[in-house]
Amino acid sequence: MKRAYGFDEVALVPGDVTINPDQTNIAFTIRNLTFSTPILAASMDAIVDPNFAILTSKLGGLAVLNLDGVQTRYEKPEEVLAEISQASDAEVTALLQKIYSQPVKENLIAERIQTIKQAGATCAVSLIPATTKRLAPVADEAGADIVVVQSTVTTARHISKSYRGLIFSELCQMVSMPVIVGNCVTYGAALELMRTGIDGILVGIGPGAACTTREVIGVGVPQVTATMDCAAARDTYFEETGRYVALITDGGIRTGSDLCKAFASGADAVMLGSILAQAKEAPGKGYNWGMSHPNPALPRGTRVKVGARASLEQLLFGPTSVTNGTENFVGALRTAMGVCGALAIKDMHKVKMVIAPAIKTEGKYFQAMQGMS
C-alpha cells in the first residue's frame, strides 16, 4: 500500500530564487481558450447561474452552468432558488427532492447558454453521463464553449446492463467544443480518459478525510497524491501525442494554502465549490446543497448554511480582512509563486513540497503569534 497525501500533510518549499508576485503569470488554457484566472466555479445550483457565469468570466475565470439543475428545469429558477433558501431545515429535504424531480427542458438549455454568450462571456456547461449523448449536441448548437461531463467516479470504460455507456471518443466527435471529463484520481484512469480525445480532466474523488464518499463507501484518494498521479498521466500523454490536456483539481480546497498546493501538485486550474457558494452574488443566497444522488438509498448532501460573506471579486482577488486563507485566492497563488520562484503555472508544477503534517497545537496563543515572530 502506497501512502497518499492530502493538502494538510504537505507544505511548499521556498525557492532559491524569488519573484515579485506581480510578475507571475497564472493563465491556463483549454484547447484554444485561455483564461487569466485559473479557477473554475463548480456546476452547482447554489453557485452558478447565468449572472454568476458572466461575472466569473469578467474576472478571468470560468463558471460551469449545471444543465441538470434548476436552471434548465424551471422557466423562472429564481423563484425555486428563493424557495430553497427560505425553506425551514425540516422541510428542505423533501422540497429538494420535489424540485429535482421536474424534467429538464431542452429549450431552457439553449436559453441559458444564450444569456451568457450575449453578455460576451465564455460559457461552460455541465451534464451527467446519462444525458450527455442527448443534450451535449443541444448545448453545442446553442453556442456553449465548453462541456463538462461529470460524475463521482468516471472511467473510459463502464460496465452496465441497463444502458450502453457513454463513449467519450464519440462525444468528442459529436460536439465541436472542448470536452472536460471527471472525476478521476489515478494515473491509469486519467490516461485512458485522455486517450479518448478529451481536452480537460477533473481530479478528485473523496478528497477529504471527512468526505462523505470516504465515510460511506471508503473510496477516495487525498488530493495531493491524486493530482500528482493524474499530472503524471497528463505529462505521459503529452510526451506521446504533443497534446496538453488541462488538469483541474476539484474538491477539498478550503484555503489559499490548499489551492497553492494543488498547483504545486500539478494542477493547471482548480475548481472551487463551497468557497464560491459564499460569494454574495451566488444564487444560493448563503446556502449550498448537493443534488439528489442517483441512488436514493445512499443520500449525500443536504442544504448547508455557508453564509454570503464577500463579493466574488473579494474572494478571488482581495483585499481580505481575514488571516486564515479563505479570501484572496489569486493573491495567495501569486505570493506563493513569488516565494517559490515560479513565473508561470508550469513552473509551479516543479516546486518542491515536503511532508509536514498540520498537527494542531492546543495553545491558541502560540498559533496567533507564530505568524509574527
Segment 245-274, which members bind its own copies (CB under 8 A)?
A: 250-252, 254-261, 264, 271-274
DSSP helix/strand/coil, 269: strand
* Contacting residue, 72, 213, 227, 249, with its own copies by CB under 8 A: 213
Q: Does the footprint of its own copies cover residue 211 (CB under 8 A)?
A: yes
Cβ 148 to its own copies shortest distance, Å: 14
Q: Cis link prior to 319 (omega < 30° from 0)?
A: yes
Cα Rg of the chain, angstroms: 20
Smallest distance from the beta carbon of 50 to its own copies, in angstroms? Answer: 20
At closest approach, how far in Å is the CB of 120 from its own copies?
Answer: 27
Which one, 75 or 216, has the nearer CB to its own copies? 216
Shorter beta-carbon distance to its own copies: residue 102 or 370: 370
Choose which of 59, 99, 221, 231 interacts with its own copies (CB under 8 A).
Answer: 221
Nearest to 26 by CA among 317, 254, 235, 354: 317
Grid coordinates representing 79 are 423563484
- Exactly one of 25, 85, 114, 155 binds its own copies (CB under 8 A); that residue is 155
- Cβ 122 vs Cβ 146: under 8 Å: yes
Q: Half-sphere exposure of 134 toward its Cβ, with a 13 Å CA cutoff?
A: 10
Residue of 89, 164, 210, 242 that binds its own copies (CB under 8 A): 210
In the set 98, 141, 188, 344, which binds its own copies (CB under 8 A)?
188
The cell numbers describing 241, all together, are 501525442
* Residue 67, all three cell numbers: 444543465
Measured from the CB atom, the residue of 21 and 143 that comes closer to its own copies is: 21
State which of positions 37-66 bind its own copies (CB under 8 A): 42, 44
Helix (H) or strand (E) holding 168: helix 168-174
Minimal CA–CA distance to 302: which of 66, 89, 153?
89
Which of positions 190-209 make contact with its own copies (CB under 8 A)? 192, 205-209
Cell numbers at 205, concatenated: 474523488
**Cell matching residue 180:** 472536460
Cβ proximity to its own copies: between 64 and 146 the closer is 64
